[in-house]
Amino acid sequence: MLDKNGIAKRIAQEVEDGYYVNLGIGIPTLVANYVRDDISVEFQSENGILGMGPFPIDGEEDADLINAGKQTITALPGASYFDSATSFGMIRGKHVDLTILGAMEVAENGDIANWKIPGKMVKGMGGAMDLVASAENIIVAMMHTNREGESKLLKKCSLPLTGVGCVKKIVTNLAVIEVTENGFLLLERAPGVTVDEIKAATEGILIVNGDIPEMDLD
């Protein structure tokens, strides 16, 4: 079973040379720490930076340099800063190759709910609405179940939707799953996790074809 850093490490394997990548709030912000050194990747944060680097070393934080989740970050050589209009122009103009988001629920058809829990005060949907509407390659980083042990990979989302039919792949603490027209397709399982455990933790249709390999995180 993976922790949050393990999820981020596995997702980093999906990042290719030359990609422009948007990192959402939560687990996705950790992905920048695990991208291979031999490829060139530009991380974009919707609050207005292109060229975001890993989290800073303790004691070297710059309080004026933050990501969309208000966490302190670093900037790589050549990084640029811009206003929200320019930032969302990049997103809406489909100039971002990969979007990595957190989620509270994902449905078997690729619907995603990641912005509101009924009854709880939130300021608004924020940039998630633009990201799911504009991105063509969305990977979700999330825990497979909630704190009560209930599945977060569902037949149909119960929370207010952020986007419809947009998620392509999900990486959880238990598995790597592709969203297909027939349901969730199991691609890999986390170290020490069995297929039966993944089935038990998945409410939506789970397709299992043959022997499922264990994730390689090296």
For the chain, what percent of residues have pLDDT higher than 90?
A: 76
For the cut 80, the answer to whether the pLDDT of residue 126 exceeds it is: no
pLDDT of residue 168: 97
State the pLDDT confidence band at 42, using cuts at 50, 70 and 90.
very high
Token pair belonging to 72:
């302190």
46 in catalytic set: yes
For residue 52, which of 62, 42, 38, 40 has the smallest C-alpha distance? 42
Catalytic residue among 16, 42, 46, 105: 46
pTM above the 0.85 mark? yes
The helix/strand/coil state of 52 is strand
Q: List domains and CATH numbers for the chain.
A: 4-207 (3.40.1080.10)
Average pLDDT of the residues in 169-194: 98
Helix (H) or strand (E) holding 92: helix 84-92
Bridge-based pairing state of the strands 153-154 and 105-107: parallel
pLDDT of residue 135: 86
State the pLDDT confidence band at 121, using cuts at 50, 70 and 90.
low
Beta strand ranges found along 53-124 (DSSP E): 75-81, 98-102, 105-107, 112-113
For the cut 70, the answer to whether the pLDDT of residue 5 exceeds it is: yes
